Amino acid sequence: MKKVLVPALISCLLFACGKHNDKPGNPGGTTDPTPTAQLRVKSSDGFTYVYDSLGRLSKYLYSNSLPARTEYTYTATTVTGTDFATNGNAYGGGVIYTIGSNGLATSDKLIASLMTPVITTYTYNAERQLVEEIANEEGKAPSVRTIHYYSRGNMDSVKSFSLSTGTMLTYIRFEYYTDQPNLLSQENYGISYLGASNANLLKKYVQIEPGDTTVMEFTYDFDAQKRPVTSHQVRNGAPFGDVTYTYY
């Protein structure tokens, strides 16, 4: 996922304790729709988000970073995110999404200074859930395949493989609070073109890579409107930090 979508990825990790599936597929059940139409996240973890009149993410600002903000422009076939420095000049990085006729991104091009652009193509299932990503450096053969699995409206697990060796690079297994709707979804950040979000809030994920395993656990505080206002994170059994959320 691109840095612009870190919050969205975190929301994608909000998972349901459903059984693991061995192939990408349809959700194993149905859940009540998440009330995301109007709710938008205003700030989280040092980021401030701004939306256009259609509720789409138009810019987000960093509290402490060399690129001070990223701004988004939309056409019928593209979404372009451009980074700007603290002096207001373009920072030399960003991302361009190509949008298909169904409103979902078919690919993106990630641009960073002094690095070869990276191209990622996306595939979705009938429920508009992202099921596959293929990544490669521009001008080179595809190098990494990532598969997303689903159960009961949530991302159950993710596996990434090297296409040159067939080796598994990363395996992530997710669990969710199935009694809590996901109010930190991509839609709540004004992002609709990367597929359907998880139905429930993230509870835990286990990430396994060669020689390393990371366990992240999440608990939440809620306001009177039942919106998550703080997430408490524990990494491998030790406190890792808190993230606070405000809303428009």
pLDDT in tens, 31-52: 333 444 589 999 998 899 999 9
Determine contact, residues 148/26, Cβ cutoff 8 Å.
no
| Main-chain dihedrals φ then ψ at residue 5, nearest 5 degrees | -110, 20
Domain range annotation of the chain? 3-247
Q: How far apart are CA 122 and CA 44, in angstroms?
A: 27
Nearest to 13, CA basis, from 181, 156, 130, 189 = 156
β-bridge partners, 219: 232
pLDDT in tens, 173-217: 999 999 999 999 999 999 999 999 999 999 999 999 999 999 999
Mean pLDDT by 10 residues, the chain (248 residues): 35 31 37 56 94 96 83 98 91 94 98 92 98 97 98 97 96 98 96 97 98 98 97 98 96
Contacts of 246 (CB under 8 A, 6+ apart): 41, 42, 43, 44, 229
Compute the Cα dihedral for 85, 88, 91, 95 and give only its sign. positive
CATH classification code of 3-247: 2.40.160.190
